[in-house]
Structure 1
Amino acid sequence: MRNKPEFTEVWIDPMLSPPYILLLLCNSDQNCQIYDPAQNYKVIFSSNNYEAAKLWLLEDEYEPIEGRLLANELF
């Protein structure tokens, strides 16, 4: 992601134990990337809007953890 992220969301696959986690980061232009922490934070999906990234996660039955982490809380 070229621009600093505006927000981050944590998504989980609750059917696994422990749950599998993915990270969704979007910048102010709504360019979004999904990272897999288990694969050394490899980008596994990119889109030019939040809705497409969210739908990709929902199709694979991931669920969002409540709340977003704003960039000023991370950096």
Structure 2
Amino acid sequence: MQTTNTTLSPAQARVKNNWEFTEVWIEPMLSPPYILLLLCESEGNCQIYDPTQSYKVIFSSNSYDAAKSWLLEDEYEPIEGRLLASELV
């Protein structure tokens, strides 16, 4: 069995147990589409993670609207639906 050493970045550690919801956003003009993850904390802070860069935080903001605007500016589109932390409990 292979084990991996998963060290969380400071931003990842902060939201590990304090997130409220996550959304998946895609850049549909690329083939295959490029995917980013938007994770928002219960306090309103949001981070955008890039799965292709070991989930590195590529954008942070203190509001959902700012994070959403950043994604829309780069022509990303949200995938329908939102995963709520409360649904996993």
Q: In which range does the TM-score fall when normalised by the shorter chain?
A: over 0.9
Inter-partner Cα distance in structure 2 for 1:5 and 1:58: 22
TM-score normalised by L of structure 2? 0.79
**Larger RCO: 1 or 2 (CA < 8 Å, sep 6+):** 1
Q: Which has the larger radius of gyration?
A: 2
TM-score normalised by L of structure 1? 0.93
Indicate the percent of aligned positions where both proteins have the same amino acid. Answer: 80
Counterpart residue number, 2:24: 10
Structure 2 residues not aligned, in runs of 5+: 1-10
Judging changes above 3 Å, is the alpha-carbon distance between structure 1 residues 74 and 45 closer, same or farther for their aligned structure 2 residues?
Answer: farther
Match of 1:33 among 29, 32, 47: 47
Inter-partner Cα distance in structure 2 for 1:72 and 1:52: 23
How well do the aligned residues superpose, as a CA RMSD in angstroms? 1.3
Structure 1 residues not aligned, in runs of 5+: none
CA offsets 1:7-47 (integer angstroms, 9 cap, x no match): 00000000001100000000111100000000000000000
